[in-house]
Every structure is written in C-alpha cells, then in structure tokens.
Structure 1
Amino acid sequence: MTGIILLLLERESDFVRFHAMQSTITFLGITVLAWILAVIPFIGLLLSHLLWLLGVILWIVGMVKAYQGERYKFPFIGDLAEQWLGKVNI
C-alpha cells in the first residue's frame, strides 16, 4: 500500500519513486501468488507461508538499503521497476 501511495504523492525524487515502484511490484506479486498457493491443501499452504517469510525478508532488505541511500535492485523486479517507472507518469 505504501508503495502505491508514494508513487502517487512523490513527484520529484526518482530514488523514492524507484523504491516505491519496486515495492509495489514485489509485494503485489507476492500477495497474489501467496493467495493462489493458499488454496492448495497442505503443500500450497506451506509454500504460501514460506512466500510470506520471503516477503518479510525482502521488505527488511529494501528498507535498509533505501535508508542507506542505495538504489538496490531486487533481481528481475528491479529492472522491471525501472522500465515501468519510465512509462508511468502519475
């Protein structure tokens, strides 16, 4: 949610907009995939919980890197965020 809010509110800082876009793509994807996996008995539920754990780890890494002023890109998603950010002019 915060990624979407920052994308809508921030107009000047490419650094903030990049991290907001990367966060939005990452956590929207994790949320949708976790919901899909959760309907599969046992193994799907287990994978869903592991995916949420991965989400927490990525959340912490993303916050620490942004706080340190580093434009840290998650594998694959970071490149996607840069591409989409160039196309989105909110």
Structure 2
Amino acid sequence: MEATEQPAERIDGGDLSCARLLILLRGRVADLPAGSIVHLSTTDPVAPIDLPAWCRITGHDYLGVAEPGPPPVYVVRVGASPVETRPDRPWHPVG
C-alpha cells in the first residue's frame, strides 16, 4: 500500500475535533507540492470517515492507515489541483 511511503510532513492532530483537524490539515498541505505524502496522527474517532470524504471534496488522495496506533496515523497525498475550501469550513468548496 502507498500509505507506507515516507512522509514529507507529519502532523500531530492530537484530540482535535473534525473541523479543527481539517483546518490544520488544509493549512499544512497548501504549502506542499503535489504528490507530497502527509502522515496525520489523531485520536478523533471520526477521522476514518472525515479524512476520505474531505480528500474526495478537495482533490487530495486518502491512502489509508500507515500505523494503527494508538493513535492511528492516516496518510494523505497532496493533489495536483486541489479545490479551495472556505477558511472557516474546510469541507465547503469556495464559490
């Protein structure tokens, strides 16, 4: 699985809630080149649902779980043409 690729960025999401976690992730991936791998650790129980959904909305690739944890580490690959989302609502595209 590609989830084992070396990350360009590691993010400790701690116990952030969904919205705060996605705002943190969105800000970090904005500065990374397309194809970069991001490892995100979080104890948020809905992360396995929210992360794949957010990736579909924004054009990034959800690659699964790199480490089962605790806490689990999820893997995202930065997309080539990401969809911009609202600053206060990272799951709502701008426009």
TM-score above 0.5, yes or no: no
The structure with more helix, counted as a fraction of residues: 1
TM interval, short-chain normalised: under 0.3
The structure with more strand, counted as a fraction of residues: 2
TM-score with structure 1 length normalisation?
Answer: 0.25
TM-score with structure 2 length normalisation?
Answer: 0.24
